[in-house]
Structure 1
Amino acid sequence: MDIHHEVHGTDEGRPLLLVHGALSGIGTSFGLILPLLAKSRRVIAVELQAHGHTPDIDRPLTVEAFADDVVGLLDRLGVDRADVFGWSMGAAVALRLGTDHADRVGRLVLASVSFDDAGLHPGLLDGIQDLQPEHLHGSEFHEEYLRTAPDPSGWPGLVTKMKVLDANLPHWTPEQIRALQAPVMIVLADSDIIRPEHAVEMFRLLGGGVPGDLTGLPRCRLAILPGTTHTTVPHRADWLAPMIDEFLDAVTA
């Protein structure tokens, strides 16, 4: 499988890898923010198996396989270590890179991610197995797929595989979150599919939630975007870009 990727920006410093959400691609996940982030750094945007320009293969969709694919791409590009910004499913892939491929990751920006099922609002995925491909016809994700997929007729197969992934979401233990070596910025919409309490719990596991004037700032950060839903997080580029730039460039005390 040849993973589609795009390289933007300059060659200065450590590159930033962008990993999109489920059923999405580079355009719908990062179309607004990518040009802003690429002003000051090298940005590598990928499209995972069966998404966007990347073809499907005879393999289930799993976060673990996605992470391995991304490492393979970094190897081919000669990139030893990259910062990673992932949204939704892409944030889970970024988190898996941080726990399973720590030597390849610099800093992590995780937008709308949970580390276990308790992070989702109760009942959120009830009925997800009844989702049919045609239910998403006309959505920005379906329209992007029709424009970019090598086989536009593959949409039903992608939706079917995604339902299997949704029924087997990845999990991390609190100990794995505490052990993350990479500094982490957690991003959440105030009306996200992830419970705000879960984001705060993760923030605390990473060393956050302290009186910074007395203890100093922790390596992790938490940003909650007001008036924002899960699917409109990518629309908040003007808010996110300066926060992400400052986090990636910050010197860790």
Structure 2
Amino acid sequence: MDIDAGLIPAPLKVGKGPGLLLAHGAGSDIQDSYGPVIERLSAVSTVVGPDFPGSGNCPLPQGPLTLDGTADYLVASAVRAGLESFTISGFSMGTAVAVRAATRHRERVTGLILSSGFAYPNSRLRLVIDTWRALARDTGNPRTLASYLSLVVGGPQWLDGRTPEEVEEQLALFSAGMPAGADAQLAMFDHIDVREDLRSISVPTLVVSPLADLITTPLHSRELADGIPHAELVTLDCGHAIAAERPEAWAEAMTKFLTALPRTVEPAGRP
């Protein structure tokens, strides 16, 4: 994948302290995936959050999106923003991007936070993504896609507690449309598999597992935690969309991990 550097918008950059690079989910953008926790994270880190190709104002490349290309794009965005080394926080598909970035750019990555993530899409996750893409192609009935996404993105308990008005507000938000590159991002699931990458990761890693996640179920988080040496696993009582359901708890888990990282830590791969 090749993107004209002159067309890439400057990423979000806020806060001060050690670098923190955000990798958002598919069919999403930085504000959608991380918006409610960015201010809290920026209190302890210099936060850089680029939108992936096809999200926000970032154009799609010539040719299909690839995991390696997206990982390289993510890291290049941080370097252009002035970060030489950084922890990467990945959400959903962004966790696979973060893992691949950590193996391709060992000299820069000092830690990983993997939330609502996966190493590869198992049969259930493939069904979720295939159905999402099929419904998105039915542009004549966006409410059907909005209803489906509402059912799988929110945890059952959280959704059970919404009023009819709140549900309609969410349906309107989803019906307004996905990012222009959503299908291209979702198509990456056909080729994502970072299971072999996990064992080579040597930086401190936090895995955040939502217990009611219907998209990337807790099984996926356990696979990440078991595969990465010395990874820490924490659970949250919510569904996939942590930023909407449990932003305070998510921010607390991440800031606790970030502030515990040694300031003198050297990225993996340096002598």
Question: What is the TM-score with the length of structure 1 in the denominator?
Answer: 0.78
Structure 2 equivalent of residue 234 of structure 1: 243
Structure 1 equivalent of residue 167 of structure 2: none
Matched, 1:250 2:260: yes
The alignment of Structure 1 onto Structure 2 pairs a total of residues equal to 226
Structure 1 equivalent of residue 79 of structure 2: 75
Amino acid at match of 1:5: P
> Alignment partner of 1:84: what SS?
strand
Q: In 1, distance between residues paired with 2:123 and 2:227?
A: 14
Structure 2 equivalent of residue 101 of structure 1: 105
Q: Deviations over 1:160-194 (max 9, x none)?
A: 3234223x2311234x3121022111112112222
Structure 2 equivalent of residue 161 of structure 1: 184
Structure 1 equivalent of residue 194 of structure 2: 172
Q: In 2, distance between residues paired with 1:9 and 1:144?
A: 31
Q: In 2, distance between residues paired with 1:81 and 1:43?
A: 12
Match of 2:209 among 179, 188, 210: 188
Change (3 A) 1:140 1:185: farther
Kindly state the Cα deviation for residue 126 of structure 1 after the two structures are TM-superposed: 4.6
> Alignment partner of 2:117: what SS?
coil
| 8 Å Cα contact 1:23-1:141 kept in structure 2 | no
> Alignment partner of 1:124: what SS?
helix
Structure 2 equivalent of residue 223 of structure 1: 234
Moved more, 51-60 or 104-113: 51-60
Which portions of structure 1, spanning 4 or more consecutive aligned residues, are displaced by more than 6 angstroms? Answer: none
Superposed CA RMSD in Å reads 2.6
Matched, 1:86 2:90: yes
Which structure shows the higher strand fraction?
1
Change (3 A) 1:20 1:142: farther
Kindly state the Cα deviation for residue 16 of structure 1 after the two structures are TM-superposed: 0.6
Kindly state the Cα deviation for residue 141 of structure 1 after the two structures are TM-superposed: 5.6
| 8 Å Cα contact 2:11-2:81 kept in structure 1 | no
Kindly state the Cα deviation for residue 36 of structure 1 after the two structures are TM-superposed: 0.9
Question: What is the TM-score with the length of structure 2 in the denominator?
Answer: 0.73
Q: In 1, distance between residues paired with 2:119 and 2:88?
A: 17
Q: In 2, distance between residues paired with 1:120 and 1:183?
A: 29
Structure 1, unmatched stretches of 5+, are 146-154, 208-217
- Listed as ranges, the matches of 1:1-253 within 5 Å are 1-10=7-16, 12=17, 14-118=18-122, 120-121=124-125, 123-133=127-137, 134=139, 135=142, 136=145, 140=173, 143=176, 158-166=181-189, 168-174=190-196, 176-192=197-213, 193-207=215-229, 218=230, 220-226=231-237, 228-230=238-240, 232-235=241-244, 236-251=246-261
> Alignment partner of 1:103: what SS?
coil
Q: In 2, distance between residues paired with 1:24 and 1:144?
A: 10
Structure 2, unmatched stretches of 5+, are 1-6, 147-170, 266-271
| 8 Å Cα contact 1:8-1:44 kept in structure 2 | yes
Q: In 1, distance between residues paired with 2:48 and 2:131?
A: 35
Q: In 1, distance between residues paired with 2:32 and 2:261?
A: 31
| 8 Å Cα contact 1:119-1:194 kept in structure 2 | no
> Alignment partner of 2:39: what SS?
helix
